[in-house]
């Protein structure tokens, strides 16, 4: 077994030009989100690529023009050996016209040992390396004992959770690796949830009545929803500071759990007292918390503030949490993910990393979020492991180191081989 694996590892080095060309081919597919609805051609390429390698293909639309692709390579002894999901998203960050790239973002170039192009780091590099690993296994005629499931999903950049749709469709395994940007660290992540807090008056007033509702003896029970939202925002800041003092998680700077007042909308016209105000917030929380938990904490805190205010007591804030798309309904959820360093798959991935890089594997946490939390949410042990540095993701002249891409491909190839040769009793 070891001789076969070493032969494949050597192939990665010897055929690195093919690996680079595969990544460049993926980058040429223009799949920015937003605007999204543009991944059909790229996903069909991946579907055909996997089908040629013996995978059974499931391809279905999540949105028109944005299909998921899942390839299943059944193991020859599926019942007795471990199964694995390799997961990555095909969409990339948007590109604005004002950005000054050294070349067209979707015409990749190689410069100073890196591939430059939108998605190189986040995360077509991870997809390319994993796809190339499946190609090498296929060409060598290696039949894995355990199942290998390859998921190329849509929507990660805009919270559309193609990975969640895979989970809903019933795809599961003993372990999942999200091959997203992690600088070759094995990572968990905190979570993110967006929410809308709405203050709405039961009555609407002309702006000329303002004196009667704010000065002594006016006797008009009314208020500006915008001004009352200021009290809500102050309450959110108080809770955020409380969290920073009372909550922590290894690997994160204190206060990483934040409540960001991102967008505010309110009022209808200068001749009216504002009768409605909406605040869009983004909440970051730690890996050992759930979005249900943190949203409940926020609601309880804000409602206690409302109870202490005579007008808000009669016009309490309304909460809307999450959403399935930042494009369709202006909301998203990224569940958190804790990595169990003692899990056999994590141990196998660490050994694969150390055997290739001759350095200790790091098990840590991501400062960003990925689709990995959806696996944890549905009971599938998972970790994030991929090439690329986070400061390159979404950046002008986004790039990935070729040296790191090669190392990653060797590691993911080794891990696939080893884990899918692990017996269920292990």
Token digits of residue 285: 């929380």
Q: Please state whether beta strands 66-73 and 148-153 pair in parallel, antiparallel, or not at all (unpaired).
A: antiparallel
For the question of residue 371 being annotated catalytic, the response is no
DSSP 251-283: TS-TT-S-EEEEEEEE-S-TTB---EEEEEEEE
Tokens of 247: 């909550």
Under a CB-based contact definition with an 8 Å cutoff, are residues 357 and 408 in contact?
no
All residues at 6 or more sequence positions from 106 whose CB lies less than 8 Å from its CB, including other chains: 27, 28, 29, 30, 117, 118
Decide if 227 contacts 312 (C-beta within 8 A): no
80 is catalytic: no
Q: Respond yes or no on whether the N-terminal peptide bond of residue 316 is cis (omega within 30° of 0).
A: no
Q: What is the DSSP string of 318-353?
A: EEEE--SBTTTSSB-EE--B---TTSHHHHHHHHHH
Identify the H or E element spanning 57.
Answer: strand 56-63
Q: Of 66, 122, 147, 156, which is the active-site residue?
A: 156
Half-sphere exposure for 187 (CA within 13 Å, toward CB):
27
Contact (Cβ atoms closer than 8 angstroms) between residue 175 and residue 382:
yes
List all residues 6 or more positions away from 57 whose beta carbon is below 8 Å from its beta carbon: 47, 50, 51, 69, 70, 71
Q: What would the two tokens of residue 150 be?
A: 């390859």
Question: What is the CB neighbour count within 10 angstroms for residue 360?
Answer: 9
Three-state secondary-structure class, residue 52: helix
Report the distance separating Cα 181 and Cα 194, nearest Å. Answer: 22
- Please identify which of the residues 91, 157, 289, 332 carries the catalytic annotation: 91
Reduce the DSSP state of residue 369 to 3 states and report it. coil
Query: How many CB atoms neighbour CB 333 within 10 A?
Result: 23
Per the listing, tokens 């059909």 go with 40
Q: What are 208's strand-pairing partners?
A: none
* Rounded Cα gap, residues 207 and 271, in angstroms: 5
Catalytic residues: 91, 156
């Amino acid at each position: 077994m070891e001789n076969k694996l070493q032969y494949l590892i050597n192939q990665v080095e010897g055929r690195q030009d093919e690996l680079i060309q595969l990544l460049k081919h993926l980058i040429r597919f223009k799949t920015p989100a937003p605007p999204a609805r543009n991944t059909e051609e790229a996903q069909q390429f991946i579907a055909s690529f996997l089908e040629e390698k013996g995978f059974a293909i499931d391809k279905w639309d999540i949105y028109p023009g944005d299909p998921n692709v899942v390839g299943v390579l059944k193991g020859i002894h599926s019942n007795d050996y471990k199964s694995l999901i390799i997961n990555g998203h095909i969409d990339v960050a948007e590109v604005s016209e004002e950005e000054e790239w050294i070349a067209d973002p979707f015409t990749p170039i190689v410069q100073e040992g890196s591939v430059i192009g939108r998605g190189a780091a986040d995360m077509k590099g991870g997809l390319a390396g994993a796809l190339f690993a499946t190609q090498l296994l296929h060409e060598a005629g290696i039949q894995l004992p355990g199942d290998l499931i390859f998921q190329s999903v849509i929507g990660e950049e805009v919270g559309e959770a193609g990975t969640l749709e895979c989970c809903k469709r019933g795809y599961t395994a003993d372990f999942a690796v999200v091959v997203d940007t992690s600088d070759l660290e094995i990572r968990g992540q905190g979570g993110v949830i967006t929410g809308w807090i709405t203050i709405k008056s039961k009555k609407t007033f002309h702006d000329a009545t303002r004196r009667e509702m704010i000065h002594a003896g006016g006797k008009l029970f009314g208020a500006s929803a915008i001004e009352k939202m200021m009290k809500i925002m102050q309450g959110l800041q108080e809770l955020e500071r409380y969290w920073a003092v009372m909550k922590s998680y290894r690997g994160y700077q204190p206060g990483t759990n934040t409540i960001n007042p991102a967008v505010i909308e309110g009022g209808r016209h200068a001749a009216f007292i504002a009768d409605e105000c909406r605040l869009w917030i983004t909440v970051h929380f730690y890996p050992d918390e759930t979005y249900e938990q943190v949203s409940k904490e926020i609601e309880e805190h804000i409602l206690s503030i409302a109870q202490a205010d005579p007008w808000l007591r009669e016009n309490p804030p309304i909460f809307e949490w999450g959403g399935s798309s930042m494009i369709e309904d202006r909301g998203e959820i990224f569940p958190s993910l804790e990595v169990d360093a003692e899990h056999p798959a994590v141990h196998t991935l660490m050994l694969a990393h150390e055997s290739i890089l001759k350095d200790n594997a790091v098990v840590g946490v991501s400062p960003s979020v990925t689709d990995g939390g959806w696996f944890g949410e549905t009971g599938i042990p998972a970790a994030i492991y991929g090439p690329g540095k986070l400061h390159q993701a979404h950046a002008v002249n986004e790039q990935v180191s070729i040296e790191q891409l090669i190392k990653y491909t060797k590691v993911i190839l080794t891990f696939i081989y080893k884990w899918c040769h692990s017996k269920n009793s292990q």
